[in-house]
Structure 1
Amino acid sequence: MRAVVFTGHGEPLEVSTVDPPTPDPTGVVVELEACGICRSDWHAWQGDPVWAERGLAAGHVLGHEPAGTVRAVGDEVETVNEGDHVTVPFNLADGTCHQCRTGHANLCENRRSLGLEPAVPGAFAEQLHVPDADVNVVQLPDSVSSVDMAGLGCRFMTAFHGLVHQADVDAGDWVAVHGCGGVGLSAVHIAAALGANVIAVDLFAEKLDFAERLGAAATVDADAIEDVPSEIHDITDGGAHVSVDALGIATTCQNSVNCLRTRGQHVQIGLTTRTEGGQVALPTDRIVGKELSVVGAIGMAPARYDELFRFLENDRIDPAKIVAERVALEETPETLAAMTDYDTMGIPVIDDF
C-alpha cells in the first residue's frame, strides 16, 4: 500500500510503498477515507520535546486524525464489524487501567499515541491497524462524513474537551484564543457555539479574518499590538473569563494567563517546541493573587464523543468550515512542511489516498 513515511527528524517525508497491515486478535484494519494533517505530526517530525525520545525510525508512518471503513477484524473483537464507518482517537487506550475504568481513556496509564510513536504506525496511508479495537474504535453516525470526522480529529476534539469539560464557559463569557491555527480556530468555533464572546489573537490578518467567520466577536493583531493582555483587558472591561493557549510558545502561554480577570481560567492546549523545551515560566504571583486556574487538555475520551456528535447533528458546530484544504496523499509532505512557517490555514485533510 502507499504511505507517507518518516525519514528522520526535519528530513523530507517520502511517499513509499509499504506492507499493508493485518489485524492482530484484538485489532481491526481500517481503509482510510480521510485524515487530518495536524501540527502534532509536525512536532513529531521535527523531534520536539514530547516526541524527541520516542525513537521514531525511518519508515514510520505519521497521521492521527483518521476516518474510514473497517476492512478486516481480529478473532477476539466483539463490538466492531467489517464495513463499519469509524474513527479512532489518537490516544489509544487498553481499557483496563484506573483512568479507563473511570471515563478518562484519553489519559490511559498505558496509552499509546497513534502515529506518534513506533509501536503504532499512523494514518498517512491507505490502511491503518487499530489495536484493542473494542476500546479504541468509535462508530460514526450516518450524518458524519469521513472528512467531517477528520476535521473533528485531534485539534477539534481537544479544543472541545478543553472548553466543555475542563473549563467553565458560560453564555456571555469572554473567551480569548491565542493562536489561530487548526486547534485555535476550532476553539473559536466551539466557544462561539457555547454562547461566549470570543477574542481571537494571531499575527496573520487572514487567520483573524477566518476566526471572525467562525464567530469571533473581536480580534487582536499580535503583530501590531505591543501589549496583548492589556488590549484584551480593555476589550473585555476587566479581562477574559477563559483564555486558551492554542500554540504553545512562551509568549502565547504568558499572554493567555496575563489576560485573565480575577478567578479566570487558563486552558493549555498547545504543546511546546524545542525553544521552550517543555517548560514555560508563568506569573505565579498573579495566579495566586487573582486565584486563577490553569488546566490542560489532550484529546477526549471515546465515551464522550456522543456529546460532540450531538453538537454537530444539532447544527451547533460545523467542522467543514475549518477544513480549509483537501489534499491527496502525495501532497502530505509539502503540506506538513508548510507548517514550519505557519503557512497552512485551518485544518488540511487528506481525502484522496
Structure 2
Amino acid sequence: MRAVVFERFGERAEVREVPDPVPAAGGVVVRVEATGLCRSDWHGWMGHDPDIVLPHVPGHELAGVVEAVGAGVTGWRAGDRVTSPFVCACGSCAECAAGQQQVCTRQTQPGFTHWGSFAEYVALEHADVNLVAVPEELSYATAAALGCRFATAYRAVVERGRVAAGEWVAVHGCGGVGLSAVMIAVAAGARVVAVDTAAGALELARRFGAAHAVDATNGDTAAAVREVTGGGAHLSLDALGSPVTAAASVDGLRRRGRHVQVGLLPAAGGGTVLPMERVIGWELEVLGSHGMAAHAYPPMLELVRSGALRPDLLVTSTIPLGAAPAALAAMGTAPGRGMTVVLPGAPGTAG
C-alpha cells in the first residue's frame, strides 16, 4: 500500500510503498477513504509523543470500509462503513469496565502507538469495542472529522464542561477542535466568545454562531473575555494547547467557572503555569478532556443526522495523499482554517 512515512522527527515525510497491514485477532483492517490532518499529527511528527517509534506513519482521524476481519470479531464484517475514536480501548481494564474507554490503561492510538491512517489501509485492534458505524448519509470526509476533533470537542463541551443554555463559553483557538466547540456550544444554547489570532478563523467562528470574536493579538485576551461576558465565562476551553492560551482560558473565567484543557500542551520547556491563586480563591474547576469512547457516539451522531450539528461545514479543504507531507509540515507555522482532510484514494501529487 501507499503511505506517508517519516524516518526522522521534524524532517519531511514522503509517500512510499509499504507492506499491507493484516488484522490481529479481535481486530480489523480498514480501507481508509478519508483521514483528518490534525495538529496532534504535527506534534507526533515533531517528536513530542514518546510512543512513536521510527519509521512511522501518522494519522488518527479516519473513516473508511472494513477490508478484513480478524478472528473473534463478532460485530463487524467486510464492507461495513466505519470510523473510530483516536483512543482505541482494550475493553477489559477497570476503566473500560466503567465505560471510560477514553482513558483506557492499555489504549492504543493509530498514528501514535502504531502506524496510522495516512495510508491506504490501517489496522485497528479490539474492533468490537472501538468501531463506530458511519450512517450512509454521512460522507467519509465528515466522518473522519468526528473521530478526534469533533468528538473531542463534543465531550469537552457537553460532558466535561457541562454546558448549559444561556451560559457564556469562551473558546481559545479556532482550529478544528475550537470551531467544533463553537458549533456545539451554540447548539446547546450557550453564548460563545471565540478567541484566535487569525481573522479567517474568527470569521468562521462567527459564521458558526459565536456572539463575539476576540483577536488574541490585541493585548490581554482574558480581560477582553471578561469584559464582553460581563464578568467572565462560565465555561472556557483551551482548544489550541499552549501555556499562554491555557492560562488565558483560566484567567477569563468568572467565579466558580470551569476550564477544560483540550489542546495538547508541550511537556518540555518548564511546563504550563496556571493562575492557581485564582483557581483557589474563585473555586474554579480545571478539567482535562481526552477524546470520547465509541459507545458514546450515538447522541452526537443523532444531532448530526438531524442537522442540529453540521461537522461537514468544518471541512474546509480536501487533499490527496501525496500532498499530506507538505500539509503536515505547514501546520507548525500555518495551522489553517477549519479542517483539512486527506483522501488516500484520490489522484494527486506523488510524495
TM-score by length of 1: 0.95
- Residues 203-218 of structure 1: pairs in structure 2 closer than 5 A: 203-218=197-212
CA distance in structure 2 between the partners assigned to 1:84 and 1:126 by the alignment? 16
The 3-state SS of whatever aligns with 1:340 is: coil
The 3-state SS of whatever aligns with 2:331 is: helix
User: Partner of 1:268 in structure 2?
Assistant: 261
Any conservation in 1 of the 2:175–2:335 contact (CA below 8 Å)? no
Alignment counterpart, residue 234 of structure 2, candidates 234, 241, 246: 241
The 3-state SS of whatever aligns with 1:229 is: helix
- Residues 69-218 of structure 1: pairs in structure 2 closer than 5 A: 69-117=65-113, 120-218=114-212
Q: Is 1:256 the counterpart of 2:252 in the alignment?
A: no
- Residues 21-40 of structure 1: pairs in structure 2 closer than 5 A: 21-40=21-40
User: Partner of 1:5 in structure 2?
Assistant: 5
CA distance in structure 2 between the partners assigned to 1:263 and 1:274 by the alignment? 28
Any conservation in 2 of the 1:263–1:292 contact (CA below 8 Å)? yes
The 3-state SS of whatever aligns with 1:91 is: coil
CA distance in structure 2 between the partners assigned to 1:182 and 1:54 by the alignment? 24
Any conservation in 2 of the 1:7–1:14 contact (CA below 8 Å)? no
Which amino acid in structure 2 is aligned with residue 161 of structure 1? R
Q: CA deviation at 1:351?
A: 2.1
RMSD: 1.2
User: Partner of 1:41 in structure 2?
Assistant: 41
In the superposition, relative to structure 1, how do residues 276 and 143 fare at CA in structure 2: closer, same or farther (>3 Å)? farther
User: Partner of 1:324 in structure 2?
Assistant: 316
Any conservation in 1 of the 2:59–2:111 contact (CA below 8 Å)? yes
Q: CA deviation at 1:153?
A: 2.2
CA distance in structure 2 between the partners assigned to 1:251 and 1:74 by the alignment? 45
Any conservation in 2 of the 1:175–1:243 contact (CA below 8 Å)? yes
Q: CA deviation at 1:274?
A: 5.7
Any conservation in 2 of the 1:249–1:276 contact (CA below 8 Å)? no
User: Partner of 1:228 in structure 2?
Assistant: 221
Q: CA deviation at 1:352?
A: 4.1
Residues 323-332 or 342-351, more deviating: 342-351
In the superposition, relative to structure 1, how do residues 217 and 7 fare at CA in structure 2: closer, same or farther (>3 Å)? same
Any conservation in 1 of the 2:169–2:185 contact (CA below 8 Å)? yes
Which amino acid in structure 1 is aligned with residue 205 of structure 2? A
Which amino acid in structure 1 is aligned with residue 51 of structure 2? R
CA distance in structure 1 between the partners assigned to 2:267 and 2:37 by the alignment? 20
Q: CA deviation at 1:54?
A: 2.2
Which amino acid in structure 2 is aligned with residue 131 of structure 1? E
CA distance in structure 1 between the partners assigned to 2:209 and 2:90 by the alignment? 38
Which amino acid in structure 2 is aligned with residue 243 of structure 1? S
Which amino acid in structure 1 is aligned with residue 183 of structure 2? H
Q: CA deviation at 1:144?
A: 2.0
CA distance in structure 2 between the partners assigned to 1:301 and 1:106 by the alignment? 5
Which amino acid in structure 2 is aligned with residue 160 of structure 1? Y
Aligned length: 345
Any conservation in 2 of the 1:335–1:344 contact (CA below 8 Å)? no
Identity %, equivalent residues: 45
User: Partner of 2:51 in structure 1?
Assistant: 54
CA deviation profile, 1:107-162 (whole Å, cap 9, x unmatched)? 11111121112xx2110000111111111111122232211111212111111110
Q: CA deviation at 1:21?
A: 1.1
CA distance in structure 2 between the partners assigned to 1:276 and 1:268 by the alignment? 18
CA distance in structure 2 between the partners assigned to 1:255 and 1:57 by the alignment? 36
CA distance in structure 2 between the partners assigned to 1:62 and 1:343 by the alignment? 17
The 3-state SS of whatever aligns with 1:90 is: coil
CA distance in structure 2 between the partners assigned to 1:110 and 1:135 by the alignment? 13
Any conservation in 2 of the 1:27–1:73 contact (CA below 8 Å)? yes
In the superposition, relative to structure 1, how do residues 24 and 274 fare at CA in structure 2: closer, same or farther (>3 Å)? closer
Residues 21-30 or 65-74, more deviating: 21-30
Which amino acid in structure 2 is aligned with residue 328 of structure 1? P
The 3-state SS of whatever aligns with 1:4 is: strand
Gaps of 5+ in 2: 346-351
Any conservation in 1 of the 2:2–2:119 contact (CA below 8 Å)? yes
CA distance in structure 2 between the partners assigned to 1:25 and 1:228 by the alignment? 51
Q: CA deviation at 1:25?
A: 2.1
CA distance in structure 1 between the partners assigned to 2:216 and 2:202 by the alignment? 10
In the superposition, relative to structure 1, how do residues 317 and 23 fare at CA in structure 2: closer, same or farther (>3 Å)? same
Which amino acid in structure 2 is aligned with residue 77 of structure 1? V
Any conservation in 1 of the 2:39–2:335 contact (CA below 8 Å)? no
Q: Is 1:340 the counterpart of 2:332 in the alignment?
A: yes
